[in-house]
Structure 1
Amino acid sequence: MEYQINGERLLQNLFTMAQFGQNEGGGIDRSLGSKADYDTREWIKSYWQDHLKVEPETDAIANLWAKHSGTEHRKPLVIGSHHDAVPDGGKYDGAMGVLIATEVLETIVEQGILLKHPLYAISFTGEEPNPYNLSTLGSKVISGRLRKEDLFSVHNRETGESLEDTIKRLGGDISSLENARIQPGELAGFLEVHNELGRHLEAQGLHLSGVSTITGIYREEIQVYGENNHAGTTMMPDRKDAFLALSDLAVGLNEIVGAYEDPDVVGTMGYVKVSPNEANIVPGSAVGIIDIRTCERKTISEIVKKLDDLTEKTEKGRRVKIKRQVLLDQPARIMDEDIINIVKENLAKLKEPENVMVSMAGHDASNMQLLTKAGMIFTRSVGGKGHCKEEFTEDADVIKAGQLALETILRMDEELP
């Protein structure tokens, strides 16, 4: 190939970023607004300034941008992902995509490649679920899915800090959020590189893939109100155990989703908080967050209806009150056909099968598809591990994904208006 990324540099940057927020067990704690989030941002901006010869920009929702000019008056291409991580997460999720975007831009700068389009690298704010209950935050804002009036009342459920203050600490300004908004048609295209976070590629013996569709995600917070009481003196028939009621819903969700026998229909209750959370007290309240994923809107509706019936049954059987609130109802997004075809053709150039697959994880590319032609590249996750410290992508796959991203951006620059 005419141009080559620097694979060794890419891997070194991946190792460096993994130091921010690394805990004693080897996982990474880098949630939105944390010290690790702030420190990572400072490193990214410093690196971009020193190596890309650009002045990094922070928009109103604190997305980070590095902007490289094109030779013609065309709309910008954008490449990137996110740098935040789930608690005790891995070093590839999001970070690899930011660093591949950085490597692509650095390769273009140092090798003097002339692009027709401007090329922007981006690191999105708060892609992962976080204590503010707002995932893919940065891309939701720039795509218009969230407005400033949606955010002023949001607080960190653990610390109480307002999202407004958090974004201000990170260099943004929620009061000026309209300045971060990008209108449909203002960009020429978007590309995101990410690890799969599952084992579909490994099961097929593949290392890389394009993405055809990003799954729909439905998320609810479920609050159960029972009655605190003594764990020893309260007879079993008299109890109003909020945790048991929440557990009934968790088990029920698993049974409802499992009945579909479809690998692309999944559901989880992954967050639970019990109060007063003491060994000698029957729990009087409990809260959980459920996450349901499928590409079919009809299936989401069916599952929610079954949960409605289960909720009513649980309230009566456990003698509790249950309140449910929708946090997210994001439909599946089909990726752009032109970019999918460019990715497939470049996979062939790299002597990889021209594979495309459904993403069962949500990504910023889902929101970017509302603005412009959007596409994704997946790398293999060894053992199907994701959102955990064991998450791993082989070095050779990281480098090949970086090369695939470069080739894809160069083709997008040639073929997109």
Structure 2
Amino acid sequence: MSLLETYKQVRSHTEYLCEPLEIEDFVVQPVLDVSPLKWHLGHTTWFFETFVLKPNDHNYKEFHPKYPYLFNSYYVSAGDRWERASRGQLTRPTVKEIFDYRKYVDQAMHQFLSDGNISEELKNVIILGFNHEQQHQELFLYDIKRILGDNPLYPSYREDLKETKAINEKFEWLKMDEGIYDIGFDGAGFHFDNERGKHKVFLHEFQIASALVTNGEFIEFIKDGAYRDPMLWLSEGWDWVQKNEVNAPRYWHQEDGGEWWNYTLGGYRKVSDDDPLCHISYYEADAFARWKNGRLPTEQEWEVACNMYSPNVLLKTNFVDNRQFKPIQTSDYDFFGNVWEWTASAYTAYPYYRPPKGALGEYNGKFMVNQMVLRGGSFGTSRNHIRSTYRNFFHPHLRWMFSGIRLAKHI
């Protein structure tokens, strides 16, 4: 597929995600981690304007002189930025004006990509822009669920979602032999800089679960009083539970009679025991693993096991392309899709890691502190965006993203 066709495809998916929304949905910022939806639309457009059009298209005229200030996120070397926590204060530009901005930049990009004569270096920047927008498409879903999910009306994001039964294959422990393995990206194709550099790791013999932890399993964890047992929790995790009065995954509510319900993108529904668990913090994942007499896999173990047991199964798994908008067990061990899987690994640099020069060097490397790695993608991830080497990362207390658990254990 050409760069132009890929550009159109990626940008149209963002607009598809916007279709069910009302104008009021685009402007809310309930907490620091959630950006107004209109900001995502502006920021992903700013990326192409700033890193592709302005430095390379001499005929391009900037849409608005203040938009770089409003829509820059964390690229310090690209200029000053509006305060992240204050994005929700801005009623202007309006949602309509931001869509006009997208249309303006889209037209310029269509012309620029049609003209050809694009260097390999610039091509890589454009492809990074595609992947950057795909990341924001998933963040867009996190944020709209956070915005709607705390509304007492529990409004549905999409009314056309179908109910699909989970495929619950027989659980087993998948064995991995002790040895030296290669991990990290090597070869052709897009990858983020934090994946780069195939290198060897030594792994002791271990086992990894063939399936994701389900809601039903986590309900047993709750029933057993695990949220009240400090022996199961890391010290910071226990402090977090106590301070925030956490007693269940994000969006779960226990109704009269003791049944658990949860907010989904399809509205307020009874928790399905068979569906993969979603919306938990690293602290909860670690405590559950300890309660189960297991542990979380390291990111190295996860990648090696994924390559061993789930090669070339991306078409069978649950991504945003399936338009389920919820986690549901599929087959082939669910290493890809459904929910991002917490690992026991801190987000740090691979051997010989070097960030790219310039503002784009701020993309990943500057965040390599106080965060944990997640692997595998989710039901909000685009199928062509994920790889076994993909390293996602979040702070351990966060859980508004689509996060879940796969267990491992020593032999």
- Tell whether the structures are fold-level matches, with TM greater than 0.5: no
TM-score norm. by structure 1 comes to: 0.29
TM-score norm. by structure 2 comes to: 0.30
Structure with higher Rg: it is 1
More helix by share: 2
More strand by share: 1
